[in-house]
Amino acid sequence: MHSITISLFVSLIAATLRLSTPIIFAALGGVISERSGVVNIGLEGIMIAGAFFAVLGSYLTQNAWVGILFAILAGMGIALIHAVLSINLRADQTISGVSINIFSAALMSFLLFKIFAREGQTDGVTQLSYPKEFFKSIPFIGNLLAELNWFVFIAFILAILLHLMLYYTPLGLRIRSVGEHPKAADTLGINVYKIRYLCVLLSGAFAGLGGASLSLGATNLFREGMVSGKGFIALAAMIFGNWKPFGALAASLLFGFAEAFRIVAQGFGWKVPDEVYYSFPYVLTMLMLAGFVGKTTPPAADGIPYTKGER
Amino acid sequence: MEKVIEMRGITKIFPGIIANDNVNFELRKGEIHVLLGENGAGKTTLMNILYGLYQPDKGEIYVNGKKVDIKGPSDAIALGIGMVHQHFMLVHNFTVAENIILGSEPKVGLKIDYKKAVNDVKELADKYGFKVDPNSIIEDITVGQQQKVEILKALYRGAEILILDEPTAVLTPQEIEELGQILKNLVKEGKSIILITHKLKEVMNMSDRVTIIRRGKIIDTVNTKDVDMDTLAEMMVGRKVNLVVQKDPPKVGDVVLKIENLEALDHRKLPKLKGVNLEVRAGEILGIAGVDGNGQTELVEVITGLRKATGGKVILNGQDITNKTPKEIIEAGISNIPEDRHKHGLVLKFSLIENAVLGQHDKEPFSKGILMNYNKIREYAKKLIDDFDVRTPSEEVHAGALSGGNQQKFIAAREITKDPYLLIATQPTRGLDVGAIEYIHKRLVEERDKGKAVLLVSLELDEVMALSDRIAVMYDGKIVGILDADKTNEMELGILMAGGTLKKEGEHDKQ
Q: Are residues B395 and B454 part of one domain?
A: yes
Distance CA B267, CA A213 (A): 42
Q: Are residues B310 and B221 part of one domain?
A: no
Q: Are residues B233 and B344 part of one domain?
A: no
User: Please, which residues have CB within 8 angstroms of residue A269's CB and are 6 or more apart in sequence?
Assistant: none
Asked whether the beta carbons of residue A174 and residue B74 sit closer than 8 angstroms, the reply is no
Distance CA B240, CA B470 (A): 29
Q: Are residues B81 and B189 part of one domain?
A: yes
The percent of residues in chain B predicted with pLDDT above 90, rounded, is: 71
* CB B312 within 8 Å of CB B275: yes
Asked whether the beta carbons of residue A186 and residue B111 sit closer than 8 angstroms, the reply is no
For residue B435, being part of any structural domain is answered with: yes
Q: Are residues B292 and B378 part of one domain?
A: yes
User: What residues of B are in contact with residue A184 (Cβ under 8 Å)?
Assistant: 89-91, 99, 102
Closest residue, chain A, to B112 (C-alpha): A169
Closest residue, chain B, to A180 (C-alpha): B91
Q: Are residues B311 and B222 part of one domain?
A: no
Write the CA distances from B290 to B294, B375, B498, integer angstroms: 7, 44, 8
Q: Are residues B317 and B192 part of one domain?
A: no
User: Please, which residues have CB within 8 angstroms of residue B76's CB and are 6 or more apart in sequence?
Assistant: B50, B51, B52, B70, B83
Q: Where are the domains of chain A?
A: 1-292
Asked whether the beta carbons of residue A188 and residue B54 sit closer than 8 angstroms, the reply is no
B interface with A, Cβ–Cβ < 8 A, is: 14, 51, 53-55, 72-75, 77, 83, 85, 89-94, 98-99, 101-105, 107, 110-112, 153
The total of structural domains in chain B comes to 2
Span B110-120, pLDDT tens digits: 999 999 999 99
pLDDT at A55 > cutoff 90: yes
Q: Residue B93, exposed/middle/buried by CB under 10 A (0-12, 13-18, 19+)? A: middle
User: What residues of B are in contact with residue A183 (Cβ under 8 Å)?
Assistant: 89
Write the CA distances from B452 to B426, B456, B465, integer angstroms: 16, 12, 19
Closest residue, chain A, to B74 (C-alpha): A189
First-residue to last-residue Cα distance in chain B: 47
DSSP state of A126: P
* CB B244 within 8 Å of CB B445: no
Asked whether the beta carbons of residue A169 and residue B111 sit closer than 8 angstroms, the reply is yes
Distance CA B511, CA B504 (A): 12
Asked whether the beta carbons of residue A173 and residue B98 sit closer than 8 angstroms, the reply is yes
Task: Produce one character per residue of B470-489: b if its CB has 16 or more CB atoms within 10 Å, e if not.
Answer: bbbbbbebbbbbbbebeebe
Asked whether the beta carbons of residue A188 and residue B51 sit closer than 8 angstroms, the reply is no
Query: What is the pLDDT of chain B when averaged over all its residues?
Result: 91
Q: Are residues B192 and B334 part of one domain?
A: no
Distance CA A82, CA A96 (A): 6
Asked whether the beta carbons of residue B92 and residue A168 sit closer than 8 angstroms, the reply is no
Strands (E), B15-114: 17-28, 32-36, 58-63, 66-68, 81-84, 107-108, 111-112
Q: Which domain holds residue B16?
A: 3-237
User: What residues of A are in contact with residue B153 (Cβ under 8 Å)?
Assistant: 188
Q: Are residues B406 and B367 part of one domain?
A: yes
Nearest to B83 among A181, A183, A187 (CB): A187
Span B92-135, pLDDT tens digits: 999 999 999 999 999 999 999 999 999 999 999 999 889 899 99
pLDDT at B504 > cutoff 80: no
pLDDT at B509 > cutoff 50: no
Task: Indicate the class that CATH gives domain A1-292.
Answer: mainly alpha
Which residue type is seen at A307?
A: T
Nearest to A311 among B14, B51, B94 (CB): B14
Q: Which of A5-9, A293-297, B330-334, B343-347 has the highest mean pLDDT?
A: B330-334
Q: Which of B189, B246, B281, B233 is nearest to B434 (CA)?
A: B233
Dihedral of CA atoms B492, B498, B500, B504 in degrees, nearest 10, equals 10
Q: Are residues B259 and B182 part of one domain?
A: no
Q: Number of A to B CB contacts under 8 A, please give it.
A: 67
pLDDT at B508 > cutoff 70: no
For residue B195, being part of any structural domain is answered with: yes
First-residue to last-residue Cα distance in chain A: 69
Distance CA A170, CA B7 (A): 34
A174 has a chain B CB within 8 A of its CB: yes
CATH number, domain at B400?
3.40.50.300
Which of B176, B203, B237 represents a domain boundary (last residue)? Answer: B237
pLDDT at B511: 37
Write the CA distances from B125 to A173, B57, B150, B153, B154, integer angstroms: 22, 39, 11, 10, 12
* CB B196 within 8 Å of CB B165: yes
For residue B49, being part of any structural domain is answered with: yes
Which of B203, B237, B271 represents a domain boundary (last residue)? Answer: B237
Q: Are residues B175 and B58 part of one domain?
A: yes
What is the average pLDDT across A34-55? Answer: 97
pLDDT at B507: 44
CA–CA min distance A155, chain B (Å): 22
pLDDT at B453 > cutoff 60: yes
Q: Are residues B219 and B182 part of one domain?
A: yes
A180 has a chain B CB within 8 A of its CB: yes
pLDDT at A155: 97
Closest residue, chain A, to B88 (C-alpha): A184
